[in-house]
Amino acid sequence: MAACRSILPLALALVLGTHVAVSAADAPAAAGAAVPVDTPTRVLDPRTLTNMEQLLDAIADRRVVFVGESHDRYEDHLNQLKVIQGLKARGKEVAIGVEFFQQPYQSVVDAYINAEIDEAAFLGQTEYFDRWRYDYRLYRPILQFAREHRIPVIALNLDSALTKRVGEVGIDGLDPQERARVPAEIDRSDTAYQERVKAVFDQHPMPDKKSFERFIEVQLLWDEGMAERAARYLQEHPQQTLVVLAGAGHLEYGQGIPKRLLRRQPVSAVSLLNANQRELDPAAADYLLFPRPVDLPPSGMLGVMLNPEVGDQGLEIQGFSEDSGAKAAGVKEGDRIVRVGEQPISTYADIRIALIDALPGQRVQVEVLRKPLIGADETLTFDAELH
């Protein structure tokens, strides 16, 4: 990452193997002999491998630590937590910048970290399950640690309504109020960044050139928006070490958030990425990590398909999975779930919150409203086993 300070590769020694191409003039091949393919070879020296504690010692003086993630990989989030814990243990005043909360909900995030609201209110009011949707348990240890130690958590992402609007009409098509929410600086000069985004776009080809222009504008908006928010926090809090948690695509090669943050605030920085699912490329990050895969325990499910439209009461059931415990208990299509356990249900988020700690085999009370052929709705309660 060109924008980051040069560092010794303590976690990884990656050497490009040398090779000599022998021309036909130098060594004529025998008739019918195979022509060797000339390829570069990467060599990993295991003697240089280190551990997280040594890594943290090496990076503890950086103002910004970027830690990438695949959103659904628990081991990535556990390593993010280790970085936060390790920097705090080394006496750093840590703040955490996160992609998975959007800027308009910063006050709700603050209220949760300061123990002014509980977890259910926090998840409901940030609209987490509508705006991010990944299993909250992946991020829960990080947020619980932040709450326990009153570590500021900074919502970096822009409002999804704005990025969706840019995807529809482009930045030039925004009205003045929408345009006011766009970062003041958007750097379009990085051709390598554009090529990388184009490669992603080409995996899902759209009908015209304008589609790619909108696609890259949304990517730029995400990266510049998160970078601008992080840079502003660093400027306002000169003593803080900021740990930025974001998808690997926003961090790799320094082309997304890092370069744009450091353009605004030229501070010392370092980037860490999981190398298990990528080509070994020393340019991708300052440190490449090799965590063992870790899976969350399976979550208990009712096995229902819900109508996304919110009605006057509860959520309507549209169908069931093959092994639905709710169906086996007597719940029917058309029923509207109004309570699961002690949790009243009016939105999709309520269902997720009600079952956040539920395990397969556990039994829960499911209260529904059922419309009979004649007469008023009936309130029925079923004892369902989660699968």
Set out the domains of the chain in order of their start, with CATH numbers: 48-162+175-289 (3.40.50.11550), 304-385 (2.30.42.10)
* Of 268, 252, 291, nearest in space to 52 by CA: 291
Backbone phi and psi for residue 214, each to the nearest 5 degrees, phi listed first: -70, -40
378's torsion region: left (phi>0), alpha (psi -120 to 50) or beta? beta
**φ, ψ for residue 311, nearest 5 deg:** -95, -165
Q: What's the whole-model pTM score?
A: 0.86
Rounded CA-CA distance 387/367 in Å is 18
How do strand 241-247 and strand 94-102 relate by DSSP bridges?
Answer: parallel
Burial 94-115 (b: 16+ CB within 10 A, else e): bbbbbbbbbbbbbebbebbbee
Residue 31 has a pLDDT of 56
User: Looking at residue 167, what is its pLDDT?
Assistant: 93
Q: Give the DSSP letter string of 258-272.
A: HHHHHHHS---EEEE
Q: Are 270 and 59 in contact (CB under 8 A)?
A: yes
Per-residue model confidence (pLDDT) at position 203 = 82
The CA-based angle 266-272-278, given to 5 degrees, is 130
Q: Which residue from 104, 84, 86, 89 is spatially nearest to 242, judged by alpha carbons? A: 84
The Cα–Cα gap between 350 and 121 comes to 10
Report d(CA 363, CA 352) in Å as an integer.
Answer: 16
pLDDT at 14: 35
Instruction: Please give the Cα distance from 76 to 88 (Å, whole number).
Output: 19
Write the Ramachandran bin of 291: left for phi over 0, alpha for psi from -120 to 50, otherwise beta.
beta
pLDDT of residue 4: 43
Q: Three-state DSSP class for 92?
A: coil
pLDDT in tens, the chain (387 residues): 444 433 333 333 333 333 334 344 444 555 566 777 777 788 888 888 899 999 999 999 999 999 999 999 999 999 999 999 999 999 999 999 999 999 999 999 999 999 999 999 999 999 999 999 899 999 999 999 999 999 999 999 999 999 999 999 999 999 999 999 999 999 999 999 999 999 888 887 666 667 889 999 999 999 999 999 999 999 999 999 999 999 999 999 999 999 999 999 999 999 999 999 888 888 999 999 999 999 999 999 999 999 988 777 899 999 999 999 999 999 999 999 999 999 999 999 999 999 999 999 999 999 999 998 888 889 999 999 999
Distance CA 157, CA 153 (A): 12
Q: Tokens standing for 197?
A: 């985004």
